[in-house]
Amino acid sequence: MGMTYAILKVKQSHEHPDFIEVKFLVDSGAVYSLVPSEDIERIGIQPHRTMKFVLADGTEIERKVGDAYFEWQGDGGAAPVIFGEMGDEPILGSTTLESLGLVLNPFSRELKPMRMLLV
């Protein structure tokens, strides 16, 4: 199985002019996205809570969480963001993918528009 990466802009809000570009590992099994703390704090994003997360090996860790605005290829959406610590790799999780209306095609390993249903 291959790895998929995507470069997204991360901002404080849709209207905020400052942004960073982050190369994310796309992980549709992760719920939240992760960005290094020093990068998102530099553009004014602040954490508002601390949460516990379980790693693949069963280790439990705590990380700060805030809210960010993500943009990919001109489209954007808001989602929670984990404040990464030393050694944490930027991850693009399913909540952010859904906010952007995207899905990871498991066969081609590409981001594709999500089929949006309104029932």
Kindly list the structural domains of the chain, giving each domain's residue range(s) and its CATH number in brackets, ordered by start: 24-106 (2.40.70.10)
Q: Considering just the CA atoms, what is the radius of gyration of the chain in Å?
A: 14
The pLDDT, as a whole number, for residue 119 is 74
Sign of CA dihedral 45, 46, 49, 55: positive
In this structure, the chain runs to a length of 119
Average pLDDT of the chain, as a whole number: 93
Note the pLDDT tens digit of each residue in 80-116: 999 999 999 999 999 999 999 999 888 888 898 888 7
Give Cα separations from 105 to 9, 71, 108, 112 (angstroms): 21, 19, 6, 7
3-state secondary structure of 54: strand
Percent of the chain with pLDDT over 90: 79
The pLDDT, as a whole number, for residue 92 is 97
- Burial annotation 85-106 (CB, 10 A radius, 16+ → b, else e): eeeeebbbbbbbbebbebbbee
Residue 40 has pLDDT above 70, yes or no: yes
The pLDDT, as a whole number, for residue 1 is 54
